[in-house]
Every structure is written in structure tokens, then in C-alpha cells.
């Protein structure tokens, strides 16, 4: 029955979006199916309204922020959330859940495809926000600890394999130098590139950009998230994710990279410049930087298609 329904929904996607490439119609098809699957829960969600929903997820962090957490938070607001299950060091993301289990030590990217039970679980141009609520991380984690004489500018970089390719979306040392030298006087720059020991990994191998010592030596005014973690761990900070939430909650200016870093930086309002090469990733054909990402917190999103465009957005908007 499921196979026949998926075939029918693919035809619906093809008829509704004839200009969409064939391989992209599968995402729309799956999104249609996810919405239909929610009919199963109509009585429990809107009539009975007792706590029953369990979200269990250990796929990509990006999708957890975009789909799972807003779904779980909606159920919390609706009074129907029973339990949440995720990877290690995620309790702070699920602060609203009174029953959260950190079960998984590893993320598995293919696990994301097993969640037809969540209304939005794939890239799409037809998202449903009926059971999707922005999680108020800024209000929850705003604090008096990480306050500086200048407003914070978070540079959330990454340097890892993407789509089984060498790094595609990242800031090299040359671009970092330009940003720091042009904006270091106006902002307290905090540099964030989590190391493998800080976060639960998926299939994306983290590589060495060799920038941390370079930053300490050449730009001592830049604060490194690594150093802040060593200073505050066990005191005001429970884990690296907790530190990110606290720093980001006090920030309204971000530069981030395609993927989980972009999604996280989009959860705190303000302005977020996202570097995302349009030749890679399905966010582009589905226009998600103008649809889904701003919904995460009301953030203003600027999509830089190449690293040099970041400088233009900085000049015009920061």
C-alpha cells in the first residue's frame, strides 16, 4: 500500500511541479506522504490531547534543527509530547522536554530517511507548518555571562568532507583575515569550528584547517569557542552544545556555512550570512534560504554563493 501511494504522490508532484527536475520530485513526494501520514494522529493531537508523542532521532544535526526539534516543540506546546530521544549532549536543545534521553553516540545520515512520521523531513517547496513551532532558544539561553564591550559577531566555520568531496563551503585563512581586520574594531569576534571531540559525528569527516593556533598568534583579540569551552566547562557550561547556545543567544550577527552550522545560527534571530555553493545541496532549487531558514527564528538570511560575497553582505548590512 505504501509503495502504491508513493508512486501516486510522485505523479502528483510531477503534475503540480512540471518544471522540477525528476530527481527533485522524490523529495516533494516524500513531503506529501509525511503530511498524509499525520492524518493518523488527528484524534490524539486535536481531540484527546494527551502526552503520547515520542521523537527518536539520530540522523543529521541539520535536519534535527530544521524538522525534528520544531515538531517536538509543537507537541510540547500542544500538551502531546511524551518523550524525546536523540544523540549525546542534546539535552540543552530539548530543554522543553521533561523526558529526554541521550541514547546515541553516533549520528547516521541515512537514518533521516526513516521519518515519514514527521510532517517535514525532506527538502521541499511545499512545507507544512501546522505542526512546526520555532524553538525559543534565544529567550531560553540569553545570559549575563557572555557579554562584551562590543556586540558579538560569531563566525561559524567548518572544514570537512561534503557529499564525499573535499571541503566546499568554508572560510579559508585569507577570507578570515579580511573579515577580522575589517570588523574586529566594531565587533567582538567569536570563532567557532567544533572539533570532533566536541560534537557527535555523522558521515562527514572533519579535517584540519590549522587555523586555531594561527588565530591565537595573529589575532589575539578574537575569542575561540575552543578556548571559551576550556575556561567555562564544568562551571557555567555543561557541554559544547550548551556553550554554543549561550554564546549564540547573546549574538545578533552571524556568519555560517551550509549545513548544521547555518541552521543553528539561524535559530537566534538577528542576521545570518550563509555561505552555500549553489552547485551543491538541495536548499537552492527549493529556495529554502528564503522559506524555511527564516522561519527558524525570524532571522534575516543573506545567502552568499561564494566566499567573496560575504564581504559584500558585511559591508551592506553589518
Residue 190 has pLDDT above 70, yes or no: yes
Residue 178: Cβ within 10 Å count = 16
Q: What is the pLDDT of residue 135?
A: 98
Residue 151 has pLDDT above 70, yes or no: yes
pLDDT digits (tens, 9 = 90+) for 252-278: 999 999 999 999 999 999 999 999 999
* Least confident range of 5-19, 140-154, 289-303: 5-19
Residue 8 has pLDDT above 70, yes or no: yes
Residue 310 has pLDDT above 80, yes or no: yes
Residue spans of the domains in the chain: they are 2-122, 140-317
What average pLDDT score do residues 180-198 get? Answer: 93
Residue 97 has pLDDT above 70, yes or no: yes
d(CA 66, CA 249): 18
Q: What is the pLDDT of residue 142?
A: 98
Q: Do the beta carbons of residue 240 and residue 89 sit within 8 Å? A: yes
Q: Which fold has domain 140-317?
A: Rossmann fold (3.40.50)
Three cell numbers, residue 130: 501546522
Q: Do the beta carbons of residue 35 and residue 119 sit within 8 Å? A: yes
Q: Residue-wise over 119-152: b if at least 16 C-beta within 10 A, else e?
A: bbbbbbbebeeebbbbbbbbeebbeeebeeeeeb
Three cell numbers, residue 58: 539520530
Q: What is the pLDDT of residue 25?
A: 92
Percent of the chain at pLDDT exceeding 90: 81
pLDDT digits (tens, 9 = 90+) for 204-244: 778 889 999 999 999 999 999 999 999 999 889 999 999 99
Residue 197 has pLDDT above 90, yes or no: no
Helix (H) or strand (E) holding 156: strand 152-156
Contacts of 203 (CB under 8 A, 6+ apart): 108, 109
Please give the mean pLDDT across all residues of the chain.
Answer: 94
C-alpha R_g of the chain = 20
Q: What is the pLDDT of residue 203?
A: 64
Q: What is the pLDDT of residue 108?
A: 86
Q: What is the pLDDT of residue 121?
A: 86
Residue 199 has pLDDT above 80, yes or no: no
Amino acid at each position: 500500500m505504501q509503495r502504491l501511494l508513493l508512486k501516486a504522490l510522485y505523479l502528483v508532484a510531477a503534475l503540480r511541479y512540471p518544471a522540477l527536475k525528476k530527481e527533485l520530485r522524490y523529495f516533494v513526494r516524500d513531503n506529501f506522504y509525511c503530511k498524509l501520514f499525520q492524518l493518523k494522529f488527528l484524534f490524539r493531537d486535536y481531540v484527546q490531547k494527551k502526552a503520547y508523542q515520542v521523537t527518536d532521532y539520530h540522523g543529521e544535526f541539520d535536519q534535527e534543527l530544521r524538522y525534528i526539534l520544531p515538531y517536538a516543540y509543537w507537541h510540547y506546546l500542544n500538551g502531546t509530547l511524551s518523550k524525546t530521544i536523540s544523540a549525546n549532549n542534546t539535552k540543552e536543545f530539548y530543554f522543553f522536554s521533561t523526558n529526554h534521553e541521550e541514547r546515541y553516540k553516533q549520528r547516521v545520515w541515512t537514518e533521516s530517511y526513516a521519518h515519514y512520521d514527521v510532517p517535514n523531513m525532506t527538502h521541499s517547496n511545499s512545507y507544512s507548518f501546522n505542526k512546526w513551532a520555532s524553538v525559543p532558544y534565544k529567550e531560553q539561553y540569553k545570559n549575563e555571562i557572555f557579554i562584551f564591550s562590543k556586540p558579538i559577531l560569531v563566525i561559524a566555520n567548518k572544514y570537512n568532507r561534503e557529499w564525499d568531496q573535499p571541503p566546499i563551503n568554508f572560510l579559508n585563512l585569507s577570507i578570515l583575515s579580511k573579515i577580522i581586520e575589517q570588523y574586529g574594531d566594531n565587533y567582538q569576534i567569536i570563532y567557532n569550528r567544533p572539533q570532533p571531540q566536541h560534537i557527535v559525528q555523522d558521515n562527514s569527516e572533519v579535517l584540519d584547517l590549522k587555523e586555531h593556533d594561527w588565530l591565537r598568534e595573529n589575532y589575539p583579540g578574537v575569542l575561540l569557542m575552543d578556548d571559551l569551552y576550556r575556561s567555562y566547562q564544568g562551571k557555567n557550561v555543561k557541554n559544547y552544545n550548551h556553550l554554543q547556545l549561550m554564546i549564540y543567544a547573546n549574538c545578533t550577527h552571524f556568519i555560517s556555512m551550509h549545513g548544521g552550522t547555518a541552521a543553528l545560527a539561524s535559530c537566534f534571530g538577528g542576521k545570518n550570512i550563509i555561505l552555500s555553493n549553489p552547485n551543491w545541496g538541495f536548499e537552492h532549487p527549493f529556495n529554502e534560504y528564503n522559506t524555511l531558514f527564516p522561519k527558524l527564528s525570524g532571522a534575516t538570511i543573506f545567502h552568499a554563493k561564494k566566499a567573496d560575497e560575504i564581504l559584500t553582505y558585511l559591508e551592506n548590512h553589518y
